[in-house]
Structure 1
Amino acid sequence: MSLLQVEGLTVRFGGAAALDALDLEVPEGAFVALLGGSGSGKSTLLRTIAGFVAPAAGRILLGGVDLAPLPPERRPLHMMFQSYALFPHMSVADNVGYGLRRAGAATAERIRRVGAALEMVGLEAFARRRPAALSGGQQQRVALARALILRPRLLLLDEPLGALDAALRERTGAELRALQRATGSAFLMVTHDQAEALALADRVAVLEQGRVIQQGTPRELWDRPATRFVAGFLGAANIIEGVALADGGVDCPALPATLRPAVPHGKPPGSPVALALRAERIGFGDEGLPAVVTEATYRGGASLLTLRTSGGAVLRALWPEASGPAPEHAVTLSWEPSALVPLA
């Protein structure tokens, strides 16, 4: 069941479309990540849903209710900004309880709910501290508690982990996911980090030039990217160019080889075809496509190889061991037909 429905949303800044007839759905209780490059419209979409930007066209429905007539403070959602926007002169407890106080909650009720919220994020011992005395991860949890204490049906998060270092991002991301599951609120998170989106979200929507070009589960987007942009943006898949053959195959002179993807490309003979091939789907053996290693990059328990085929194509493949073959080493590549994904 959809909690949020965005239909044909268009936002213009100075005549240029920041959002271009964008459609999006967020299921009830889901964690959805908005993924895309700079200028793709991710933050603009979040701010428009929150009510800080007026759309030129389209509708935003939350639980079937049109949000257009409602100002930001009356929308049944909350937005957590990347800067966390904590009040420096207030204690942690006062920051968390600020929304309840403005809503006129009774003192006893406010104290009870603030205590429960701080316990939920593991900050009970920090209630009297000021934000300046907290680490970045602790400040993020204060901002989360302040947002969740209002029990929003939808929480909007703009790069919530962007200000944290790599180790803290991973730990705090896991905490964020656990909080989402514990509260049952739907989360809509903006990120430019593909690994973060794939690890945390139930569903991912990829934006390009103000439109959602593909949305689905992380596995659906990884295994079956719809376009060149999605294939390249998520994991930098190999893109193999070719020409459609009458029997359904694809002639790829740069390999050189004739490929036969398991999923039909649907193109008439002679039409250009592009296929995505993930690095981890390429195997090594005695039979297949000859190639030469041009570069080997250490990746912990594996090595990422850059390879050149006799036809001049450059491919990337994942060698399953830390010590991969050295440059100029000859290898033989193979893959299953299901690994080849035709792109729009």
Structure 2
Amino acid sequence: MALLRVEGLSKRFGPTLALDGLDLEVRPGEFLALLGGSGSGKSTLLRLVAGFEAPDSGRILLQGRDLAGLPPPARPLGMMFQNYALFPHLSVFDNVAYGLRREARPRAEIARRVAEALAMVGLEALAARRPHQLSGGQRQRVALVRALVKRPPLLLLDEPLGALDAGLRERTGFELRALQRATGAGFILVTHDQAEALALADRVAVLDRGRVAQCGPPAELYERPASRFVARFLGAANVLEGRVAADGAVEAAGGRLALDHGLAPGGALALALRPERIRLLAGPPPAVNAVAGTLRELAYRGDGWIALVALADGTELRVALPAAAAPPPPGSAVTLGWDAAALVPLAG
């Protein structure tokens, strides 16, 4: 049985359709990331599951139980907000204990469970402090264990790392993943950060205009995007528009391209080509999977270079080049090449 099943979920805010018959499933103990741009529906979906909004149609089933009509406190799940929402007048201990006290748990049980929760994130020595006496990373961990101390089967996380700087964000992300594995709870993470979603999640659901554009393991989505939208949104892939010639080769980007599997001739198609799969060629170019162009722009990114190369037919390719070798200057004529396996046909 799925831990969470969302069936045909729709929600409007006035004329805006935020969710459009969305279907989604979260498995027991799974870390699922909801990834999408502004207005894609990811935050609306989280709010509907939490009970802060009611759907116009569709069902939300948690462990087979329909959540319709249940207010947020009655739903057997936890939620961690982007701003952490800690009580400023309460100590760390009392913040974490708040939900257990609302349930009228015995004092000894509350003390034991709060101590265990704080020990999981290394904050047992800070139990008497107030939130303003903590660092951003420490506040984030308090908010996390406050949501987990009631042992919910599912935890909802709304951009939980967004307020942290880059270095702390990465380290805290690994801690979050380790904590999810240790507790065995299902996590749903809403994020706009692609690297964060790919690094942390077991599966990533990419949302577009209120629907799931594609859902699967991170490597599958990145290496085999299903559509133009997913290819461009996730990792900024180049999308080449072309046609399949009579001999099975693809005519696109002003050249002849060969894939590692056959295609029916005569049809139009689109191909995804990741920037890091393209390389600069020296010497005579091969007959297929090589194109000539002009290096138009160049930007240094620390771990490498991003180049924009304009081809003769007007196509512009984004190319990721290694930092070890200095690229030619803008304005240079270059030849680009790639392996057949780098070309991924797109369905839509």
Instruction: Compute the TM-score of the two structures, normalised by the length of structure 2.
Output: 0.93
- 1:197, CA displacement in angstroms? 0.6
Partner of 2:143: 143
Which structure 1 residue ranges, 5 or more long, are not aligned?
none
Provide the rounded CA distance (Å) in 2 between the counterparts of 1:272 and 1:93. 62
Give SS of 1:113's match: helix
Partner of 1:175: 175
1:132 is aligned with what amino acid? H
- 1:162, CA displacement in angstroms? 1.0
How many positions carry a matched residue from both structures?
Answer: 340
Matches within 5 A, 1:164-313: 164-252=164-252, 255-263=253-261, 269=266, 271-285=267-281, 286=283, 287=285, 288-313=290-315
Provide the rounded CA distance (Å) in 2 between the counterparts of 1:102 and 1:165. 34
1:101 maps onto 2:104 in alignment? no
Residue identity over aligned pairs, in percent, reads 63
- 1:99, CA displacement in angstroms? 0.4
1:338 is aligned with what amino acid? A
| 1:230-264 deviations in Å (ceiling 9; x for gaps) | 11111111111113434443322xx3112233355
Deviates further, 311-320 or 203-212: 311-320
Provide the rounded CA distance (Å) in 2 between the counterparts of 1:210 and 1:249. 36
Partner of 2:74: 74
Give SS of 2:161's match: coil
- 1:150, CA displacement in angstroms? 0.6
- 1:334, CA displacement in angstroms? 1.4
Provide the rounded CA distance (Å) in 1 between the counterparts of 2:204 and 2:195. 11
- 1:15, CA displacement in angstroms? 4.0
1:86 maps onto 2:82 in alignment? no
- 1:332, CA displacement in angstroms? 2.1
Which structure 2 residue ranges, 5 or more long, are not aligned?
none
- 1:226, CA displacement in angstroms? 1.0
CA RMSD in angstroms comes to 1.6
Partner of 1:24: 24
Contact residue 237 and residue 276 of structure 1 kept, 8 A? yes
Give SS of 1:341's match: strand
Structure 2 CA distance for partners of 1:248 and 1:25, relative to 1, 3 Å: farther
Give SS of 1:97's match: helix
| 1:197-217 deviations in Å (ceiling 9; x for gaps) | 111111100001111110001
Contact residue 158 and residue 189 of structure 1 kept, 8 A? yes
Provide the rounded CA distance (Å) in 1 between the counterparts of 2:190 and 2:259. 34
Instruction: Compute the TM-score of the two structures, normalised by the length of structure 1.
Output: 0.94
Provide the rounded CA distance (Å) in 1 between the counterparts of 2:125 and 2:162. 25
